[in-house]
Amino acid sequence: MSDDIIVKFTNANILVNDKAYERIKNHENSNNFTDSLIEELSYSDKDIFVLTEEILDQFLKGGDPEDIILDNGNSDDLITSEIISKHAQEKFSSGRPFDFHVIQDTSKKSYTSGEIKDFSSYFKSRFEKLSGFLDKRGELKDHRPINRIRKTEDVVKIIGMVNDIINTKNNHKIIELEDETGTVNVLIHNENHKLFEMAELIVKDEVIGVTGSKKGKFVIASDLIHPGVPRIDEKPMDFSAVFISDVHIGSSTFLGDAFNKFVNWINTDFGDDEQIKIAEDVKYLVVAGDVVDGIGVYPHQEKELVIKNIYGQYEEAARLFGKIREDIKIIIAPGNHDAARLAEPQPAISEEYAKSLYELKNVEFVSNPSIVSLDGINTLIYHGRSFDDLAMTVKGLSHQESDLIMKELLEKRHLAPVYGERTPLASEFEDHLVIEEIPDVFHTGHVHINAYKKHKGIHMINSGTFQSQTEFQKIYNIMPTCGEVPVLNRGAFKLLKFSN
Ligand SMILES: [Fe+2]
């Protein structure tokens, strides 16, 4: 009986809060009472609203329906996730099994004492892991340590970490390369156009392979080789996975209406037939950081906050994410605005700050970066802080086209190759930002601009934002893509728009 009531209200786009629901349920003729309530409340032109105890009282007093205060769903009234999930279960009681597991999470593996020896073991780990990939490249077969190259030699094959990149007066490039045995200068001639173009994308601290010849002080490069990724076969997918990031709850520029529409869609209560069909298929929702706006992230941030403390921001996040039907698994990684150590790898969002979010049964918390398997679809989640460094240091790379940056990171097999710039990296014993596993999906955020491309069979997705243009973005003329949500629907990419 009570489930019928929930379904009736939900079909009429009316959400019922806990107390109102209890009273309707206990009414002597609850079914008729529900019908007459729906009839009266359907006068509203709002898409979705919340039926509270106060509205119920007014109705019972015989008040005019026009006087009944209708809430548009942004109210502070707790919309019970229990009721919504009961509705979800009504519709999605298939009991579909999840094959979810975390492949890589650094939340508890991340240790640092901050001593200099950590710094050297960190770089040793980076070099070993990345040179290991290069070692398997056919082009670098029989490569030798740098100190074993003779003064003059026709065929040279070496692997090293980039110490420095110098542009010469004659517009050539010199890359200083280092391995455990020594350093050498690699010259890239500007007349070798293709190679010179490749060299423009090389950054400090990445590990590359070089083939060429030795003449005097220099190795004259004939080829530059990245660790690279192999082409992968696409895996079959019989469900939808949704990717979002940069929600920025708590900010005055958080787009609550767009987010509510998104939630209504994912609950299959909003959208056209095709969109509803996609929503019905959704099993996973991945959030790549910046769930909340945080506090003290930049100077005078408080002026742009509507929720000025971090606990309140996560409470609101729990209220909003709590509306999502319970048969969707939500995976949340932190971003630079979240309550987690800023240095990467960032451990999962702290339970201390996000208590109510942790109470949601369908939420999993992972580190940044992390790899999760969604029914066999391996998804690499990285917020994307290092995009700032790449966009700043490499000609041709920008926030607007983060797919180009993602491609470079995959080929370099490292999520934050430049050390010591804007991306704070913890000097761990081990480098956890090396891309060791080849993912099926590479999901990022941070730049607030959507991007999608497939690279060698890997879906590269940047999921945009639910925050309108900020003051900072206005200064730099950055146009965010707001409320546009990427979905992998049975393997096909779709972009759903909830912005107006
Ligand atoms: Fe963000």
Same domain, 204 and 282: no
Q: Is there a single domain that holds both residue 218 and residue 304?
A: no
The verdict on residue 94 lying in a domain is no
476 and 342 in a single domain? The answer is: yes
Q: How far is the CA of 435 from the centre of ligand 1 (A)?
A: 23
pLDDT number for residue 54: 73
Is position 481 within any domain?
A: yes
pLDDT at 117: 60
Answer for the pair 316, 307: CB distance below 8 angstroms, yes or no.
yes
* 428 and 459 share one domain: yes
89 inside domain: no
Q: Same structural domain for residues 221 and 367?
A: no
Same domain, 255 and 201: no
350 Cα to the center of ligand 1, angstroms: 18
Copy the structure tokens of residue 195.
């190679």
Distance 157 CA to ligand 1 centre (A): 42
Q: What is the whole-number distance in angstroms between the Cα of residue 232 and the centre of ligand 1?
A: 30
CATH code for the domain in which residue 217 is found? 2.40.50.140
| Residue 91 resides in a domain | no
Contacts 24+ apart (CB under 8 A), 68-74: 68/40, 68/41, 70/41, 70/44, 70/46, 72/46, 72/47, 72/48, 73/15, 73/48, 73/49, 73/260, 74/256, 74/257, 74/260
CA of 382 to the centre of ligand 1 (A): 12
Question: If you measure from the C-alpha of residue 138 to the centroid of ligand 1, how many angstroms do you get, rounded to a whole number?
Answer: 41
CA of 18 to the centre of ligand 1 (A): 33
User: How far, in Å, is the centroid of ligand 1 from the Cα of 288?
Assistant: 9
Question: 308 alpha carbon to ligand 1 midpoint, in Å?
Answer: 17
Same domain, yes or no: 157 and 13? no
Among the three residues 225, 254, 279, which one is the final residue of a domain in this structure? 225
Ligand 1 centre and the CA of 222: distance in Å? Answer: 41
C-alpha 467 – ligand 1 centre gap (Å): 8
Distance 446 CA to ligand 1 centre (A): 5
How far is the centre of ligand 1, averaged over its atoms, from the C-alpha of 335 (Å)? Answer: 7
Domain span at residue 461 reads: 100-108+231-497
State how far the Cα of 78 lies from the Cα of 73, in Å rounded to an integer. Answer: 10
199/269 same-domain check: no
Of 205, 225, 245, the domain-final residue:
225
- Residue 78: both structure tokens together: 């707790």
Same domain, 344 and 288: yes
Beta bridge partners of residue 240, listed in sequence order: 282, 489
Task: Give residue 444 CA to ligand 1 midpoint distance, Å.
Answer: 11
Tens-digit pLDDT string for the chain (500 aa): 456 777 677 666 677 777 787 888 877 778 777 877 777 776 554 544 667 777 777 777 665 434 443 333 333 333 333 444 444 445 554 567 889 999 999 887 655 555 556 678 889 999 999 999 999 999 999 999 999 999 888 999 999 999 999 999 999 999 999 999 999 999 999 999 999 999 999 999 999 999 999 999 999 999 999 999 999 999 999 999 999 999 999 999 999 999 999 999 999 999 999 999 999 999 999 999 999 999 999 888 999 999 999 999 999 999 999 999 999 999 999 999 999 888 889 999 999 999 999 999 999 999 999 999 999 999 999 999 999 999 999 989 999 999 999 999 999 999 999 987 777 777 677 899 999 999 999 999 999 999 999 999 999 999 999 999 988 888 888 899 999 999 999 999 999 999 86
Q: Is 196 helix (H, G, I), strand (E, B) or coil?
A: helix
SS3 434: strand
Q: How far is the CA of 500 from the centre of ligand 1 (A)?
A: 20
**Distance from the CA of 440 to the center of ligand 1, in angstroms?**
24
Q: Report the separation in Å between the CA atom of 261 and the middle of ligand 1, taken as the mean of its atom positions.
A: 20
The answer to the question of residue 85 being in a domain is no
* 393 CA → ligand 1 middle, Å: 21
Q: How many domains does the chain have?
A: 3
Question: Could you tell me the distance, in angstroms and rounded to a whole number, from the CA of residue 409 to the centre of ligand 1?
Answer: 20
Based on the fold, state whether residues 180 and 240 are members of the same structural domain.
no
Strand partners, 378: 373
Domain boundary among 225, 241, 262: 225
